[in-house]
Each structure stands twice: as structure tokens, then as C-alpha cells.
Structure 1
Amino acid sequence: MYTFEAENGILQGVTTSQEVTGFSGSGYVTGFDQSENSLSMTITAPKEDMYQLWTGYNGPHGNKNSRLMLNDQPFGEVKFPPTLTFSEINYGRVKLNKGANQLKFTMGWGWYDIDYVKIQSAPSREDHQIENTLVSPNASEEALSLHRFLVDQYGESILSGQQTLLHALEIQEKYGKLPAMVGFDLIEYSPTRVQRGSDSKEVENIFQWHDLGGITTLAWHWNAPTDLIDTDEQPWYRGFYTEGTTFDIEKALANPDSEQYQLLLSDIDAIAKQLKRLQDAHIPVLWRPLHEAEGEWFWWGAKGPEPAKKLYRLLYDRLTNVHHINNLIWIWNSESPEWYPGDDVVDIVSVDSYPPAGDYSPIDNRYDNLVELVQDRKLVALTENGPIPDPDLLQDYQTHWSWFCTWGEHFIQDGLQNSQEHIQQIYDHPYVLTLDELPDWKTSRFP
């Protein structure tokens, strides 16, 4: 193991200090409180190889992060959980050149101290042990077939994905190919939106996409069942945000006889009607409810992990055992162990990732967190992204995301989040599967 002290680096707008005890070396670097602040360190590797990287830090001001540059290229972020003394965080794996490598910490979400960086040769990836089963006891043939295809492709390729059919068609117009997967949303079927005049043709859009041979992934920005704030500052259509409603999920779940609990069931039943339309059409769905709960910016995550997990299990039970919807492949969307609802109700684990514009790093550390969460027994997916990871880096790092699904609008239009050259490279890359390259996964059945 090799250790490099932060105080020996090049400091921009930050200083060294010895005020807080417990550091290594002769001090630590502090003062990350301005956007231009940075620490640049020379990391000398004995050979070109993949290395595990640890950072010694102090985080007395709550959850923080720093954005990294590796050899002048954006390289994700390191998260610093809150601490009361100097601690160590495992960033994950980095590929280093033999000799000098430049690692730069930029402010990110500041107010933390950096003590040192350690590296050690990383072990080789082990073969995946993905379970070829689904949690639904009566999973449809179509769902089994799709899951089998994804398992077979895992590590051999990454499926291209794009949020909304409209933006997928925009990709085709600009870059000549359609993605293998499109992300859809049941948001407008939420009863509190329907009551206010919302209408949706999203299920019809899925029919159209399925007829083209594409794979469907589906989320639900669930407008709260009641208690929308509905003001000029927080209009009713922002009712899926925590700040857009006073609905208390913890209180509702604690009292099954309450009106709030019954409204939860009523909302689930309304969505079940739309999912049944897809089941009747023999369309399997990569189903990602309660996404980004860990962020707590949506009401289903606002009260912490326990209510969110309880609501997820309620969704699973009602859709599976009451409505007998069996075309769903269940996706959980968090890398945190304390938020995980359990192996018995999850088929695929995932994260959403929005690094800074132009950061095409493989997001390897978050991938590793998910692999560890499920002991490499379930597929791991990048269910939303801004910048698209570089396929060459994905292969170098053996970061085997099953698919990516890029958000729309400026993420594919401004040339900054993803340059036009980068998007073209993605859709032309042999490691990336596009719609025209999909086999007939619909007829691939389990024996």
C-alpha cells in the first residue's frame, strides 16, 4: 500500500492545518469553501494497473462530496459521510499509469478536510453469480424471457437507453440509431393529477415502442394521494416532491384504517389498471417504483428508509398478490444498505447518476456498492444518467452496468452534458447495443 499526504500537494485557495488532531503526516488540507478551491496531488504508481483508492478525511459538517479529476479528465466524485474525527473512505477503483498520475480534488459540496490518499493494487473481478429467477412467483413468460436476455448480456455489452419516446426519436434523427430501451413514466395517471385534468397516452406510447421491438423501463413520479400544497409557489403538478405536499407517508402506513392509507391503496389500484393493459399485451416491464427515495426529495423518501421500504413492499404485495400483475421485473433504486427492501422483492438494483457535464467516467464506485449490496447475485443497472459513461472505460474497469438510460432535453441537446461526438461514439460503439442490434428477446424462453 502506498500513502500520499495531502499537505504535500498543490493547494489552490485552501490551506494546511494541524488544528484537529488525529491526522497522519504533518497536517491536513482544509478550507474547501469556494468553487475555485482545489487540491492537486501526484500519485505515483509502480506499474500501470487497476488500484483501489482510499481517502483520509474529516467531515464534521454532515454529508459532503468532492469532485475528482484524474490525469486532467473528470472522474466522478468521492462522498464524505459525516464524521467526528479523521476517518477513511474507500473511493473504489482507479486505473493509474506507471509513474506520476495527477489526482485533483475540487470543491463539490465543500466544508471537509483531506488528510491523505492511499492506493493498493485492486484484485481482479470475479465471475458474476447472477440468479436467473424473478421474485414474482408467477412471472410471465415475457418477463422471464427479458430477464434471461439481460442476464445473458451482462458483462458482454451495455444496452443503450433514452428517457421518453420523443427523445429516443430525436436520437435516431441526429445519430442514425434508436436506443435498445426507452424509459416511460406513469406520472399523469396519478389520481390527484387526473382529478385536475391530466391526460396521458403513455401506455399507447409503450405499445408503439414494443411493436418496434424495443425494451420498456417504467417509473412513476407518484403525485401524492392527498394533501397537495397547490399554491403558486408549489402547484399541484409538483405533488411528487416532498416540498409539494404535506402528505406524511410514515403516519399513513402506521394506520391502515386511515383515509390516507386507503388513498395509497386507491392510487396503487389506479396504476394497476395501466400495468394490466401492458400485461394483457404481453409486454414485460422493467418496473422502477419509488425511485431516488434515498435522496428524500420525493415524498416517498421524506421520512427515511423504513417508511420507504414498507411502501415498496406494499406496492409489491398489492400489485403481485391482489392484482396478479406478473409482467414486472422489480427494480430498486438505491445503493445504501439501510434503504434496501430485501432480496425477496427486488430483481435488479440500480442508481441514478448525474455527474458534472462532460464527465464520462464509468461510475465504478457506485457500481461496486450495488454489487456488494446484493453479493453479485442480481443485475446492476444505471437507470438514469446525465453524461453517458465512456464504453471503453466501462470495458477497462469491467464496470458491467446492464444498461444506461439518459435523461432528455439538455442532457442530449446542449453539447455540454454529452457532446455530439460523444453521443455518436456511444451509438456506434460495438460494446453498446442499440435497437437494430437486439436479438429476438421476446421469443427467448426458459427451458
Structure 2
Amino acid sequence: MTRLTGLLYGLAALASLTTAKPVCRDESTKFEAEDAVLSGTEILTTQSGFSGTGYVGGFDTSTDKITFTIPSSSTKLYDLSIRYAGIYGDKKTTVILNSGASTEVSLPSTDFFSTVSGGQILLNEGTNTLEIVNNWGWYLIDYILITPSAKREAHNINTSLVNPAASTEAKTLYAYLRSIYGKKILSGQQDLSYANYVATLTGKTPALVASDLIDYSPSRVAYQGNVSQAVEEAITHHQRGGLVSILWHWNAPAGLYDTSENPWWSGFYTRATDFDIAATLADPTGANYTVLIRDIDAIAYQLKRLQNAGVPVLWRPLHEAEGGWFWWGAKGAAPAKALYHILYDRLTNVHGLNNLIWVWNSVAQDWYPGDEVVDIVSADVYAQGNGPMSVQYNELVVLGNDKKLVAAAEVGAAPKPDLLVAYEAHWLWFCVWGDSFINNAEWNSPAVLTEIYNHDYVLTLDEIQDWKTIGAAQL
């Protein structure tokens, strides 16, 4: 090799080092958005405070995205941080690792570049791809940061329920749930008919069935009469040894529009009623407050039927409040939390419903009604790909200070157990929504469902027949 050839070789090698992609090892590694592959997006520089030579915007159609190439020296779990600017309001983005499971990440409104957790990503040894895809759109991405994940510490879950008068059945169930937390996950399905569908498809019946008290709402009964079989279905599953979760799509007590665009049966949506929860709570002597309490009492009657049948209930009222699409969350966090406290007080102290285990259903810190009225924290996650939902899990661990059990109360896609274990996402249960999700191969293919339901990490109905004995032994 001549001196000139050697010099040229050395310069080429130096250039390759300065332009090579950073490799994730045992330290934090930054990947600038402007260096990624852009699809329908563009490099911008007008927003101050960015890192590197620019940032990426233009997320305005469903296919717009950034694709990062991430080399890793080993198979390892990393924390993902996303630096963004939410100058156009609250948004959401979708993160997809290696063309697999998708994760929905909230990007709160900001006036400047800020950092948000993107959950965790399990990088394979070699080359990985990470996509940030439009979702709600109109946000700016500066860079992502990849940091090796710390080992999850042991949980410190509360030993008692928030209701000091909780029934023996409720305490026994809670003790059982604590005994399996972090070791197994309970399989769950919305509606008994779809639980039976899963049994036919996979050969295994979900351990948990969720029922909806929607049709017991007095404003629905007024239109259609008493048609619901939700309580009977819950009792049926309990009698075959299963666990029961109950939610309530609360049709507004009054003020239903009942138009062709917003018919009476859609009255739980904000768009379908003029019922104002803030104004109602501000006037306890008003007519709307009276019908609010009437509705709670009507639901108390149904819950008491379950109590009389010896059914402990994982009770999830006012779900998805922070979304604002249901009337109980339409006026913000304060009225929603106040309503939750009214529900807790009336059902517990007036109606003596001691069979309820209280499940809160939001990851947002400012919507949390307080440790004193919540036994389990949960989230509803609709992301395709059967992923571990680690973003929401970790947010809920923080919300409950790791003293509350954490559940995936509604999911579009059942999570793959191997990913749950790898990500240390210790969801207590998952519950797949019914029509258009459990029976939709784009969300849950028969092969994947069969794999999930026959995995050792997943508990099914036949595997929890001794839950009462195990729970009682913990008391």
C-alpha cells in the first residue's frame, strides 16, 4: 500500500465513522429525526429549541411517518423517549417497532420542544426499524433517545381494599389477584357470547368476562323496556368459576337529543345529549341532580343482585372519562372526579355494596380521583399488533405509585405473552372488546388468539377454578 493510498483509506474510514448510525449498547443513544427516512413528512427549522440541524413536521395524512434505523449490539430492552413539540394542541402518535406491534403515545400540548416517554422497545441484535406514524397528526418530532431499561423492582401492592367493609368474597378475590400479579395474566373477554366464541375458536374459555350495564340506564329503559341480560350473564360466568368485570355506558339521565344523527341509544356520548355534569353537580337541589341519583340507585339495584348471588365485581365506572367523548368527562377532570366520589359514597355507604373492587380507568394524573377510592388502576388500549402496551402500563404504575394493581380493562388486540414477559408489563388481566375486534383477524387472528390462550403465562377459566381457595389462604 502506498503512502497516498493509505492516506485515502484512512480518510474514507474516518468519514464512515462520522456518518455511521449510532449503535445502541449500554448508554443513551440519540437519533435525530432529520437523519431518518421521511415519508410524507419534511425537515423544518422555524421552531426554536431543536437539536441537530432541524426537526420533522408535516404529519397531516394517515401514512405520514418517520423511519429510524437502529443498530443494536445485542437483544435488549430499552426505554424510548421522544422529543417533540405539541404546538398544535394535544395529539397522539403511533410507534411501530420492526413492522410489528403498534404503540399509541400521547403528545400533550406544548409551546416548545419537550420530552415524553414512548414506553419500551425490545431491540433485536443487528438492525431494527422504528416508525413514528401520524395517528392524530400535526406535531413536530426533534429526536428519539434510546436508554437501556432498568430491571423492574418488586411491586408493593396494597394488601387491603379501599372499602373497610368489603365482603369476604371481594377480599378473597383481591387476595387472589395479588397472588398472581407479575406472575401470570388473566385472559378476558367483553360479553359472554364472545367469551364462548373464544372457547370454540381456541379450545380455552376466558377467565374473566366483562358485562355492560348500559341497558339498565333509566333513560334507555324508558325507550326499550327492560331488555338487558347482563346481570344474568355475569352470574352464569361466576357460577362456572369465572371472574366478573362490570362497566356502565351510562346513558345520560336527561337531555337526549334523539335525532337521526344522535339517536336515544347513543345518549352516553357527549355529542348526543345536552346533559351538563358540571352544572348538575353545582345544583344539588335541581331536577338534573335528582335524576342523576335516580340512575345511580337503579344501577345499585342491579349490582345488589350480583352481591346477593355472591359475585365479587371488578367495578369500572366512568370509563375513559379523560377522552371527553362521554358526557361524564365532557366538562373536564373536576366534575368527573366529583361524580366518581358520589358514586363511591352512594353505592358503598347508602346501598351497602361491599362486593365491589373499584377500578379506575385513566392514565392521566390530573383525572385520578385518589388512592382512597381506587383499588385497581386500568387503561383502555386500542393498538394493533398484539403488543405489550408498555407505555400505558408504566404510566399506570406511576399513577398508582406501584401500590395499585394494573389492568388492561379494554383492548383491541390481545397481548402476546412472550412480549409481556420480555417487557415486564405485568398487566393483571386483558379484556378484548367484542364485535369488530375479537372476531376481526386484522386485530386478533385465530392463530394468534390460539397461541395466546394456550400459553403458560395466560390463565384461562379451567386454570382458575381454585381462585377462592388460593385467595382465602392469603387472608
Q: TM-score, normalised by structure 2?
A: 0.91
Q: 1:36 & 1:211 partners in 2: Cα distance?
A: 48
Aligned equivalent of 1:362, options 385, 388, 393: 388
RMSD: 1.3
Equivalent residues of 2:242, 2:465 under 8 A apart: no
**Which one has a bigger Cα radius of gyration?**
2
| 1:48-447 paired onto structure 2 within 5 Å | 48-199=75-226, 200-356=228-384, 359-443=385-469, 444-445=471-472, 446-447=474-475
Which of 10, 19, 33 matches 2:46?
19
| Distance in 1 between residues matched to 2:275 and 2:64, nearest whole Å | 40
Residue 54 of structure 1: how far off its partner (Å) = 1.1
Cα deviation, residue 36, structure 1: 2.4
Residues 83-106 of structure 1: CA deviation (Å, up to 9, x unaligned): 111221121221223443211112
Describe the SS at the equivalent of 1:196: helix
Q: 1:273 and 1:320 mapped to 2: Cα distance?
A: 12
Q: Distance in 2 between matches of 1:101 and 1:197?
A: 54
Count of matched residue pairs: 445
1:65 Cα deviation after fit: 2.0
SS at match of 1:109: coil
Match for 2:343: what amino acid?
A: L
Q: CA shift at 1:335, angstroms?
A: 0.5
Q: Please tell me the residue identity of whatever aligns with 1:6.
A: A
Any idea what the Cα deviations from partners look like across 1:163-185, whole Å, max 9, x if unmatched? 00111111112221110000001
Contact 1:247–1:299 (CA under 8 A) maintained in structure 2: yes
**Structure 1 SS opposite 2:257:** coil
Distance 1:116 1:202 in 2: 48
Specify the code of the residue in structure 2 equivalent to 1:365.
V
Q: What's the TM-score, normalizing by structure 1? A: 0.97
* Matches of 2:83 and 2:70, distance apart in 1: 15
Rounded to whole Å, the distance in 2 between the matches of 1:318 and 1:83 is 39
Amino acid at match of 2:441: G
CA apart distance, 1:77: 2.4
More displaced 10-residue stretch of structure 1: 144-153 or 167-176: 167-176
For the 8 Å contact 1:181–1:216, the answer to whether it is kept is: yes
**5+ residue gaps in structure 2?**
1-27
Q: Secondary structure at the match of 1:43?
A: strand
Structure 1: 5+ residue runs without aligned partners? Answer: none
8 Å contact 1:93–1:365 — kept in the other structure? yes
- Secondary structure of the 1:126 match is coil
Kept in 2: contact 1:189–1:198 (CA 8 A): no
Question: Structure 1, residues 14-62: CA drift from partner, whole Å, max 9, x if none?
Answer: 2212122211111111211122222111223344322111111122111
Letter in 1 for 2:317: P
